[in-house]
Amino acid sequence: MLAAGVFLAPALAMIAMFTVVPFVQGILLSFQSWDGVSPDAPYVGLANYRFVLHDTEFLGSMKNAVVFGVVGLVVANAVSLVMALAVHRARRGAAFFRTVYYLPGVFSTVVVGVMFAWFLDPKIGVVNQTLKAVGLDGLQHNWLGDPKTVLIAVAVVFVWYHWGFGFILFLAGRQDVPQELYEAASLDGARGWAQFRYVTWPSMSHVTGIVSVLTLLSGLQIFGTVQVLTNGGPAGHTEVPTLDIYQQAFQFSEYGRAAAMSVIFGVCLIVLACVQLWVSRRLGGSTGSRAEKGS
């Protein structure tokens, strides 16, 4: 008992001090007005929430976050899964492909932003220059300046940056599926799609659930890439909640409103994570519970 206390104390102290206390303080701050400097922060009741819930920029940012989350969930995860199955089947070069596919994932969000800001630049960007060089001048576009294309452009960047992570997890999950299942399935005459549908997919449902949660959450919380690429523009068309919270606090000195946004957004994220884990556990059936016991 005493020993457990000694071993656990540093961890619990750190987590309590720098994670739990700020989380609770953040909830309190959402009912206060604070400019970031003055020593007192008067309570203002629900004023911050009233403001935030009528703030079209914030509501729009939530909608954009959903776009990034869903694109990540559907497109990035589909790419991750297909490429993981492909690398698993490759006889030669599997290690090379694995290394290369995760390479974008080791870049920082800031650097990814700098890279693609250049590629997509209307004048000196590689994308437009290439279109011009091959005679497709008509397709040149101000990708990040046009409200019609900017969200898609940023979503493509997010997929490029993120799919390697899901790929690594899917590959690990595929390698854990016992070979006997495939032997049994092929005795039953299952080939190609049927093998995938009745062996691979159900056996990997645990991994799929986890990858889905992580991709969805990181899409919803996208920040650095958007800040560098567009800073939420043009005219708020790529505003995302984390950036909005940051701007509300550090540009407009409305820390109470920022905290109210944090609470609303945070609750959404937590609920989503719980729902999705619960769903994938239900779908996972026996696989899910086996993995749980193993952990």
Partner 1 sequence: MALYALLIAGALEALVPVLWILSGSLQSAEQLYKGTDPIPHPFEWGNFATAWNEGGFSQYLPNSLLYTTASVVGILVIASMAGYALARIEFPGRGVVVGAILVIMIIPLPASFIAQYKLLITLGLANTRIGYILVLIAGGLPISILIMRGFFAGQPKELEEAAAIDGASLLGTFWRIILPLARPGLVAVAVIQAMGVWNEYLMGLVLFNDSSLMPVQRGLTNFVSAESPQQQILLAASLIAVLPIVVFYAVAQRHIISGLSAGALK
- In terms of DSSP H, where are the helices of 176-252? 179-187, 192-195, 201-203, 205-220, 224-229, 241-250
Specify the stretch interacting with partner 1 by CB under 8 A; choose among 21-29, 147-155, 183-191, 279-287: 21-29
Question: Dmax of the chain from CA atoms?
Answer: 75
Total site size for partner 1, rule CB under 8 A: 94
SS3 sequence, 47-110? Answer: HHHHHHHCCHHHHHHHHHHHHHHHHHHHHHHHHHHHHHHHHHHCCCCHHHHHHHHHHHHHCCHH
Q: Which of 73, 255, 284, 287 binds partner 1 (CB under 8 A)?
A: 255
Q: Which of 52, 154, 199, 210 binds partner 1 (CB under 8 A)?
A: 210
Specify the stretch interacting with partner 1 by CB under 8 A; choose among 23-31, 144-152, 181-189, 194-202: 23-31
Specify the stretch interacting with partner 1 by CB under 8 A; choose among 11-19, 52-60, 138-146, 188-196: 11-19
Q: Which of 7, 45, 193, 251 binds partner 1 (CB under 8 A)?
A: 7
Specify the stretch interacting with partner 1 by CB under 8 A; choose among 46-54, 158-166, 186-194, 195-203: 158-166
Position 257, amino acid: R
Q: Find, among 241, 247, 231, 232, the residue nearest to 267 by Cα.
A: 241
User: Does 108 sit near partner 1 (CB under 8 A)?
Assistant: yes
User: Does 86 sit near partner 1 (CB under 8 A)?
Assistant: yes
Q: According to CB under 8 A, which residues from 42 to 81 bind partner 1?
A: none
Compute the distance between CA of residue 122 and CA of residue 131 in angstroms, rounded to an integer: 11
CB of 281 to partner 1, least distance (A): 13
